[in-house]
Amino acid sequence: MRIVPTNPLVKVLRTSVPTADGSELRVDGARGETVSAQAVVIPGDSPDTVTPRMSILRSPDGKATVLPKCVRLQWERYIDLSVNTTDIPLDDLVGKAPVSVPDPFWEDAERPIEPKSVQPLWIEIDIPPDARPGEYRGELTVSGARGRCSLPVILRVRDFDMPAERHQRMFEWWHFPGRGFESLKPNSQAYWKLLEQMCELVKRHRQTDVRISWASVWLTEDGCDTSFFEKFTETAFKSGMQAIHLTSLGKHTKSQLKPDSRVIPIEDNFRRLAAVQEVIVRRGWKGRVFTSLADEPFIYHEESYKQLLARVREIAPDIGVIEAIETEDVGDLDIYVPKLSHLNLWWPRFEQLKGEGKTVWFYICNYPRGRYPNRFLDQQLIAARELHWISYLYGLDGFLHWGFNSFPPDVDPYSEKGVTRSNLPPGDSAVAYPGRDGWLGSLRLSTMRDGLQDYEYLWTLEDRLRELKKRVGEDASWLDPRQRPLELCRRVVQSFYDHTRDPNVLLDTRLAIADEIEALGRSPMLYVQTSPPEGTITPVGPIMINVRGVATPGATITINDQPVIADNITKSGCFIGAVFIDAARPEIVVTAESNGVKLTARRRFVVVE
């Protein structure tokens, strides 16, 4: 038996022959971040039952540690698929069906292993918010009755913090208490305990909002009883949730051929609406309670939707309205949520809304497919992580998916029938699975969390550049805090559907972002901004690149080996230069030397001959 590290953006198939990415498991992250890694146990010639353990991770001087309690070791579980998601290119699939795909996590620490059948292990480390920057070393061991194997672990803690505040909203509709817990009685101690556990699960994965049915507002002879709704909402807020969403007030017909096909909710729902409005005012929950009117209205519903929206605003002005929309004009919503493919097709409309200060999220479901990233079970894992890079690229405010834990009744959730509810693509309906005592995560849920943390890296770099611009003052009026994060973001995603399939490109870019965040906090310092931005494609010239930058005052600056004269450097350290490039040397190389330390920044371009 042996254990080898592998890429955390690769789904290890049962038929895989893992190749070690080095002889050590290397993990890199910021203070307060949950970092993911993956290793694979390759069994010996005999069956065994094995248990993983992580040692204390120690700094070289032994004075700083990351304890095993900060580590989760989760065996990956397979689901057998007989058919693939349709309309997905073969190179975007993890394997052609029939195929066994890892996704859920086993609940127990012990795991039986069989010869010739690899067993992947998912590793998560919660880096303490007060961890000292630097390297920590320890050992991951897997032990059984027939042997033991180990793998050195190196954790690098970066010298910056993962923001505690979520700058990207994340909301997946859940079913609560959900499959396997239907017997829990509302208002029972076990019910509220499960709610707290489930809120903790979604919070740990950086999700921000949760869902509740309008039926939680009980009708009475003389009004409404909101006590259950209030306790549910208060529990969610105490658990760290930012907002709670009520289910749709109304619905529309399946036929989209009638212009006024909206079915106006019965008066009972308007009574509930008025009762929740009163709760919001009394409890101070304005901006934290939302509802939908009718999921996915089309162009045929626009006028009737606006009529219903006006009625809702009249009754409950403090309830926000969020909608997953299949059209462009449904009135003045609080949160617009077009599908990813619709954003691509109708981007000028939603870009206009953003310019007006409106909040725009996006959603995916069993569509889009093709080259668009999604989170289907048989799709490459990297696609689920790249969704949140798209959010940064276009300045979107949040993400929505309908299926957090939706399973058909009386079907094994860990089977193909369980994860293909109503013949939807495998995995579309769920990224969390029922365990004995609560809900369990999955590869895709953790990977989406990692994508949200990638977003925060890009946000943090932008924030550091905003601080630099403010600190330098008028000399840095040219500095665009979003340009450099966008340049790095485009190495991974280039549009709503153009994205890398290479996990190393994403992970290397993430390291580059972390390097630049740290560099902005050091002295000496160098920051470079070019016009046009890095990565611009241009035909053969002349190609002139305008270069602007900030360095430690008094530093000696060169651009493509040519010194920047004193007249082009300000007292604050800002400098300028104009440089011609060509196909032989399609890059800008800037150096800054101060007190014997030399810093280098490179910006590369694509020259088409």
> Which phi and psi angles does 553 have, rounded to 5°?
-50, 135
Closest CA to 492 of 502, 483, 478: 502
Q: Is 287 left (phi over 0), alpha (psi -120 to 50) or beta?
A: left
Q: Decide if 75 contacts 69 (C-beta within 8 A).
A: no
C-alpha to C-alpha distance for 37 and 56, rounded to whole angstroms: 17
**Helix residue ranges per DSSP H, 245-316:** 267-283, 302-315
> Which phi and psi angles does 270 have, rounded to 5°?
-70, -35
C-alpha to C-alpha distance for 402 and 539, rounded to whole angstroms: 45
Preceding amide of 485 cis, omega within 30: no
SS3 at position 509 = helix
The CA-atom distances, in angstroms, between 310 and each of 177, 224, 293, 306 are 33, 22, 11, 6
Dihedral sign (CA 310, 314, 318, 319): negative
Q: How would you write 98-160 as a 3-class SS string?
A: CEEEEEEECCCCCEEECCCCCEEEEEEEECCCCCCCEEEEEEEEEEECCEEEEEEEEEEEEEE
Element (H, E) at 227: helix 227-238
Read off the tokens for 118: 């690899």
C-alpha to C-alpha distance for 107 and 99, rounded to whole angstroms: 23
Dihedral sign (CA 262, 267, 271, 274): positive
C-alpha to C-alpha distance for 73 and 139, rounded to whole angstroms: 13
What one-character DSSP code corresponds to residue 452? H
- The pairing of strands 543-551 and 320-325 is unpaired
Residue with the two structure tokens 């990233």: 373
- The predicted pLDDT at position 257 comes to 38
Question: pLDDT means per 10 residues in the chain (609 residues)?
Answer: 95 80 89 98 94 98 97 98 96 96 97 94 98 98 95 98 97 96 95 98 98 95 95 98 94 54 66 97 98 92 89 96 96 98 98 98 97 98 98 98 96 96 95 97 98 98 98 98 98 98 98 98 96 95 95 97 97 97 96 96 95
Q: How would you write 338-379 as a 3-class SS string?
A: EEHHHHHHCHHHHHHHHHCCCEEEEEECCCCCCCCCCCCCCE
- The pairing of strands 48-54 and 251-252 is unpaired
CA 184 to chain centre: 31
Read off the tokens for 94: 């993890």
β-strand partners of 141? 53, 150
Q: Which residues fall within 8 angstroms of residue 119, CB to CB, at 6 or more apart?
A: 40, 41, 43, 50, 75, 76, 111, 113
pLDDT in tens, 278-333: 999 999 999 999 999 989 999 988 888 898 899 999 999 999 999 999 999 999 99
C-alpha to C-alpha distance for 524 and 30, rounded to whole angstroms: 22
Closest CA to 424 of 443, 401, 440: 401
Mind listing the domains of the chain with CATH numbers? 2-161 (2.60.40.10), 169-442 (3.20.20), 523-609 (2.60.40.10)
Residue with the two structure tokens 């619709």: 342
Q: Decide if 340 contacts 372 (C-beta within 8 A).
A: yes
C-alpha to C-alpha distance for 274 and 130, rounded to whole angstroms: 46
C-alpha to C-alpha distance for 90 and 459, rounded to whole angstroms: 33
The type of residue at 457 is Y
C-alpha to C-alpha distance for 521 and 527, rounded to whole angstroms: 11
- The predicted pLDDT at position 277 comes to 98
- The predicted pLDDT at position 259 comes to 43
CA 189 to chain centre: 32
Dihedral sign (CA 243, 246, 247, 250): negative
- The predicted pLDDT at position 39 comes to 97
Preceding amide of 532 cis, omega within 30: yes
Element (H, E) at 14: none
> Which phi and psi angles does 35 have, rounded to 5°?
-105, 145
Q: Is 578 left (phi over 0), alpha (psi -120 to 50) or beta?
A: beta
pLDDT in tens, 34-73: 999 999 999 999 999 999 999 999 999 999 999 999 999 9
- The predicted pLDDT at position 521 comes to 94
Rounded to the nearest 5 percent, the helix, strand and coil shares of the chain are: 25, 35, 40
- The predicted pLDDT at position 574 comes to 98
> Which phi and psi angles does 554 have, rounded to 5°?
90, -5
β-strand partners of 246? 212, 291
**What single string gives the DSSP state of each residue in 153-169?**
EEEEEEEEE--SS-SSE
**How does 75-114 read in b/e, with b if 16+ C-beta sit within 10 Å?**
bbbbbebeebbeebeeebbbbebebbbbbbbbeeeebebe
The CA-atom distances, in angstroms, between 27 and each of 30, 227, 479 are 10, 46, 33
Q: Decide if 524 contacts 551 (C-beta within 8 A).
A: yes
- The predicted pLDDT at position 269 comes to 87
Q: Which residues fall within 8 angstroms of residue 326, CB to CB, at 6 or more apart?
A: 296, 297, 298, 299, 338, 339, 342
Is pTM beyond 0.95? Reply is yes
Closest CA to 433 of 191, 198, 171: 198
